[in-house]
Structure 1
Amino acid sequence: MTKSKGDRVPLEVSHPNPSLQVTADHKLKTVDTPVYPPNPGEVLVHIKASGICGSDIHFWKTGRIGSLVFEGDCTIGHEASGIVLQCGEGVDHLKPGDRVAVEPGAPYERCFLCDDGRYNLCEDVEFAGVYPYEGTIQRYKNHPAKWLHKLPDNVTFAEGALLEPLSVVMHGIKTVGLSLGRGVVVCGAGPIGLIALAAARASGAHPIVVTDIEPSRLAFAKDFVPSCIAYEVDRTKDAQGNAEAIRALFGSGEYVAPETILECTGVESSVCTAAYTARRGGTVIVIGVGKPIMNNLPFMHIALAEIDLRFINRYRDTWPPAIACLSGGILDLKKLVSHVFPLENAEDALHLCADTRNGSIKVLVVDEQEASV
């Protein structure tokens, strides 16, 4: 992904390559970009479906997430699936025509973290859709073959694009652990929160409370996982007040208070509420992406109650089990796809996602063309 195009000659392709780019001055543009043959170890993929993530909106609107900064124009997108068109030298486990899901991060693989199997923490990861690495909202994309995963016939391209957010949730759940019959709270009914809700249900957690400030999202959550309990966050209450109301949904007494909180918003007030909601000795896992600095976390409460406040960075070793979850019917995430746009209208998809009044859940950009090289 980082190798220079050098003297490589662009391929002749059957269709142009419209690529949705975010510029350094926070604009969107669609550019027809050249398509190059894959380097050794790479595969040229025809992207059939690419999901829009909140991080894509963040990069567009603010130009950065933490230390990740857009310093120039870059094609965005990292939730994708497609069809192998051409394999570079040395690729022997994939062939043209294979249906694949894209694991967007390609780590350096020569650092101590990669050696330890914690490649999601590699500081030299080349992550699709994060400047300067080309993302997936385009027709043709070269990607390292190692980080492509074959899709079974019963997993659609749309579901393949949902494997990335599912992987985020799976890494969070694996990090924190869930117990059969123990209570869980899911903070936030956005795409990540809804997937966490379904995964928690499949994991045997009970009861499950899902929280949000938007009644429409809570209504969707109730339809998506009927056994959950919906709690609309009361904006007139502080974190402790909302936590007290959430705890009451589990019954009285410290023992029945929720053991685990899956915080899927990254919003400071929600993280604080989560800390007050967990029972003493419980765990809060922050899955959502928040602002760089949080100044108001209830430090002494967390300390005195020995709340285990944990965080994750993306995922590792999740694609095969995530594919198994969808292929085996453990999870059905198809309802999450609320809007579908053709690739040529990808800018419209970003604008719809950016306005919460549109009520989108998961928006996909798809390409129905029969592309070839």
Structure 2
Amino acid sequence: MAPSVLVGQPGEQPIAIAPKPLNKTVIQTSTPNPSLQVTADHHLKSVNAPVYAPGRGEVLVHIKATGICGSDIHFWKTGRIGSLVFEGDCIIGHEASGIVLECGEDVNNLKAGDRVAVEPGVPCEHCFLCDEGQYNLCEDVQFAGVYPYHGTIQRFKVHPAKWLHKLPDNVSFAEGALLEPLSVVMHGIRSTGLSLGRGVVVCGAGPIGLIALAAARASGAHPIVVTDLEPSRLAFARDFVPSCITYQVDRNKDAQGNAQAIRALFGESEYVAPDTVLECTGVESSVCTAAYTARRGGTVMVIGVGKAMMNNLPFMHLSLAEIDLRFINRYRDTWPPAIQCLSGGILDLKKLVSHVFPLEKAEDALHLCADPRNGTIKVLVVDEQEARL
């Protein structure tokens, strides 16, 4: 990777940011471009970032809303998630929607004024995985908000038109920002075989878990149990999906003990034990609990992002019970159906937005999210200012 360069406004301390894209033209705008970056030494810094002209096949977007993701906090605090490492400073954010300001050459599907959702991963489109349609597994993906590719907590962002999706008039910018976590869930549940009247457990009542809860309900799964350590999150889950059953994880029980208590909520028959467990935390103890919770022959889908190595998974239990342990990497081909879910009223996720911050106070939004005692669900950074080029 090329080294970071130093930029800054006259009279300001230069700021290290990741290299700008090759052959990109910096344009002058009458509106500044405030942004939030995570630095290589684990700090947050507000930056007046450069604005690039859209190239061939690209669009300049005024980002109107970005959701804060747990991965943003993780990159800030630790500088890495698995093999994804912040080797320099980078503007974060990837759950976004906005309005098209300008189109580059050969853009025919969008025009200035279109409202769009941003699919943040841009694959190479040349490797065998892309050729097979598994573009989410592309090793050369340029993913917004993951170093060295700048993200969406900024006013102006250039993005390929192919990876922008028009929003219907009845889907707000806030809901457009929720399409990214919804896509994570949709990719996770697509291969799990949720069906009418079959039991599901959702581990974790954070934003992803709550979306998974709503999606499972919409699929017709029943009964649905959602678990968490925090009573306040379980109370929110009951309000969000009133038909769900909640279970507060007992810190004094091991994985098998909690699994036994969860399974008891489904009744005594092995037949009605949960077919599917959607593990939305990535925490090792929760993954182990999920493994013991699923019925024999069932499926555990790990949607949550966890630590690089887990040492205590119950391998032989999974093997002897033929439990299908599955994982996902982001998503693919989910934006159009996700938009239909929101536009058609299949899912209503608006209640998930618990806090809203203006773009200029994005740093405050990250600090609020970083402390679980603040009771956040989904925090949005929004830009209400008119953007002029």
Query: What is the TM-score of this pair, normalised by structure 1?
Result: 0.98
Of the three residues 276, 300, 303, the one matched with 2:316 is 300
CA deviations on 1:30-81 (whole Å, 9 max, x unpaired) are 0001111111111000000000000000000000000000000000000000
Query: In 1, distance between residues paired with 2:216 and 2:113?
Result: 35
Q: CA deviation at 1:309?
A: 0.3
Name segments (4+ residues, structure 1) moved above 4 Å. Answer: none
Of the three residues 246, 252, 270, the one matched with 1:236 is 252
SS at match of 1:243: helix
Structure 1 segment 221-300 matched on structure 2, within 5 A: 221-300=237-316
SS at match of 2:319: helix
Of the three residues 18, 24, 37, the one matched with 2:34 is 18
Query: In 2, distance between residues paired with 1:14 and 1:223?
Result: 45
Which residue of structure 2 aligns with residue 69 of structure 1? 85
Structure 1 segment 8-157 matched on structure 2, within 5 A: 8=25, 10-157=26-173
Query: In 2, distance between residues paired with 1:254 and 1:36?
Result: 59
CA deviations on 1:292-319 (whole Å, 9 max, x unpaired) are 0000000010000000000000000000
Which residue of structure 2 aligns with residue 4 of structure 1? 21
Query: In 2, distance between residues paired with 1:119 and 1:7?
Result: 25
Decide whether the 8 Å contact of 2:94 with 2:151 is kept in 1.
Answer: yes
Q: CA deviation at 1:4?
A: 3.4
Which residue of structure 1 aligns with residue 372 of structure 2? 356
Query: In 2, distance between residues paired with 1:3 and 1:49?
Result: 23
Which residue of structure 2 aligns with residue 187 of structure 1? 203
Query: In 2, distance between residues paired with 1:115 and 1:39?
Result: 24
Structure 1 segment 138-177 matched on structure 2, within 5 A: 138-177=154-193
Query: In 2, distance between residues paired with 1:53 and 1:159?
Result: 15
Q: Specify every segment of 5 or more residues in structure 1 that has no aligned partner in the other structure, as ranges.
A: none
Query: In 2, distance between residues paired with 1:322 and 1:226?
Result: 22
Decide whether the 8 Å contact of 2:97 with 2:174 is kept in 1.
Answer: yes
SS at match of 1:142: strand
SS at match of 1:31: strand
Decide whether the 8 Å contact of 1:21 with 1:31 is kept in 2.
Answer: yes
Decide whether the 8 Å contact of 2:24 with 2:55 is kept in 1.
Answer: no
Decide whether the 8 Å contact of 1:250 with 1:256 is kept in 2.
Answer: yes
SS at match of 1:222: helix
CA deviations on 1:345-365 (whole Å, 9 max, x unpaired) are 000000000000000000000
Q: CA deviation at 1:15?
A: 1.3
Partner amino acid, structure 1, of 2:283? V
Query: In 2, distance between residues paired with 1:104 and 1:152?
Result: 19
Query: In 1, distance between residues paired with 2:115 and 2:377?
Result: 25
Q: CA deviation at 1:5?
A: 4.7
Structure 1 segment 201-220 matched on structure 2, within 5 A: 201-220=217-236
SS at match of 1:13: coil
141-150 or 34-43, which deviates more: 34-43
Identity across the alignment (%): 84
Q: CA deviation at 1:132?
A: 0.2
Query: What is the TM-score of this pair, normalised by structure 2?
Result: 0.94
Aligned length: 372
Q: CA deviation at 1:7?
A: 7.0
Query: In 1, distance between residues paired with 2:116 and 2:369?
Result: 26
Partner amino acid, structure 2, of 1:95? K
Decide whether the 8 Å contact of 1:2 with 1:126 is kept in 2.
Answer: no
SS at match of 2:271: coil
Q: Cα RMSD between the aligned structures?
A: 1.1
SS at match of 2:342: helix
Decide whether the 8 Å contact of 1:186 with 1:208 is kept in 2.
Answer: yes
SS at match of 1:172: helix
CA deviations on 1:69-115 (whole Å, 9 max, x unpaired) are 00000000000000000101111110000000000000000011001
CA deviations on 1:258-307 (whole Å, 9 max, x unpaired) are 00000000000000000000000000000000000000000010000000
Decide whether the 8 Å contact of 2:217 with 2:224 is kept in 1.
Answer: yes
SS at match of 1:114: helix
Decide whether the 8 Å contact of 1:240 with 1:273 is kept in 2.
Answer: yes
Partner amino acid, structure 2, of 1:56? D
Structure 1 residues 334 and 183: alpha-carbon distance in aligned structure 2, compared to 1, 3 A threshold: same
